[in-house]
Amino acid sequence: MWSATSRSVRAKIQNRVSRRSAAPDPATSPLLRRFPSLSVIPHIALGHFPTPIESLAGIGPSLWIKRDDLGATPFGGNKVRALEFLLAGVRPGDRVVTVGSAGSTHALAVATYASALGARTIVGRWRQEMNETAANVAARLERTAEETKIFSFLPGAYLWAWRRAKRWGATWIPAGGSSPLGILGHVNAGLELVEQIKGGEMPVPAAVVVPLGTGGTAAGLALAFAIAGLDLRVVGVRVVPWVVGRQGRVLRLAHQAARLIEQITGKELPAIGRGAVHVVHDAYGGAYGRETMAARAAARRLAEATGDGVRLDATYSAKAFEAALRLASHESVLFWLTFDPRLLDPP
């Protein structure tokens, strides 16, 4: 049920969408400027890009942050970029089905933006180790989605959701939005960063650090840097079980997105080497959603160092930033903030 505030936000999203063409504007899309023929892919403008880059010199002289939390309203983060492609064909009255953990920010983003477009969202969820952020997200999700059910294990959630999707002929969005189509949003993000670097907003770092969940963000960035011919390593900080957060899986996703671009454009893309993606495993903490003392300390350090008190969540961004701090002690690092701190506030 939408509150009065939520209905106002919904109206703003709907007005923004109605004012813009479903086709992306090449003037604001680095991906389309490089590959104009990709304009045949449906797209809907949900965010406002590029997102800013800020120096974290107060913490380390070779540390920067990419503020994707500022990329959209009512909340940003990396999921909005994928949803600009994944929700493009959704119309009022349609149903959208996805899956995620109990406190999945991906599922909440799908429900929020699909609902704003007049669609109904169904979410299959599985239990996770809950923290404060996950609990807030879960409460918001249960109020926003039309139907949601939590299962003890992942396969049950997938089976239930898939059956719902088949029954209603619904739009299916995979966990994390990590499909070749959704990854295009992150390729665009990577090319956005390349243009910002060329524009002098920051020097070329040695590494870009992101949380590693389903892998779509890391895959898209790695593909973008290969396309641009930029020697820039993507460091994915694993926050999920190893079977999901693997280098091989990220590279496979990147290759699948590359094939989609090649099929549409007729152009051969540069190969993505294994060294393009590195996975940090020691920040995981033993369970998805489990807080660690090191990540909590890193989050506190960032909040204290930034004038606007940039806050991190325990599941993803705090663990990634802790790893970024370690890397920044001996090389230049850009930390990509994929989480919107507004979700830390009680619903």
Residues 32 and 43 in one domain: yes
Residue 9, by phi and psi: left (phi above 0), alpha (psi -120 to 50) or beta? Answer: alpha
The parent domain of residue 145 ranges over 83-177
Does residue 3 sit within a domain? no
Euclidean distance between CA atoms 341 and 15, whole angstroms: 25
Encode pLDDT of 218-241 as tens digits. 999 999 999 999 999 999 999 999
> Stretch 286-306: mean pLDDT, rounded?
96
Last residue of a domain, one of 153, 177, 201: 177
Euclidean distance between CA atoms 122 and 166, whole angstroms: 12
Q: How much is the pLDDT for 347?
A: 82
The greatest distance separating any two alpha carbons of the chain, rounded to the nearest whole angstrom, comes to: 55
Q: How much is the pLDDT for 307?
A: 76
Residues 169 and 204 in one domain: no
Residues 18 and 129 in one domain: no
Euclidean distance between CA atoms 220 and 44, whole angstroms: 18
Residues 22 and 97 in one domain: no
Overall domain count for the chain: 2
Residues 95 and 230 in one domain: no
Residues 49 and 148 in one domain: no
CATH number at residue 94: 3.40.50.1100
Q: How much is the pLDDT for 20?
A: 41
147-151 sheet: strands from edge to edge: 147-151, 120-126, 95-101, 171-173
Is 256 a residue whose pLDDT tops 50?
yes
Residues 164 and 47 in one domain: no
CB atoms within 10 A of CB 293: 9
Across the chain, mean pLDDT equals: 93
Last residue of a domain, one of 177, 199, 224: 177
Residues 196 and 283 in one domain: yes
Q: How much is the pLDDT for 318?
A: 98
Give the model's confidence band at 155: pLDDT under 50 very low, under 70 low, under 90 confident, else very high.
very high
Is 247 a residue whose pLDDT tops 70?
yes
Q: How much is the pLDDT for 4?
A: 40
Is 14 a residue whose pLDDT tops 90?
no
How far from 125 is each of 72, 248, 285, CA to CA, in Å? 25, 25, 21
- CB contact at 8 A, 131 and 291: yes
Last residue of a domain, one of 150, 177, 204: 177
Is 345 a residue whose pLDDT tops 90?
no
Euclidean distance between CA atoms 211 and 234, whole angstroms: 10
Give the model's confidence band at 197: pLDDT under 50 very low, under 70 low, under 90 confident, else very high.
very high
Encode pLDDT of 57-99 as tens digits. 999 999 999 999 999 999 999 999 999 999 999 999 999 999 9
> Stretch 97-103: mean pLDDT, rounded?
98
Residues 135 and 243 in one domain: no
Give the model's confidence band at 9: pLDDT under 50 very low, under 70 low, under 90 confident, else very high.
very low
- CB contact at 8 A, 245 and 287: no
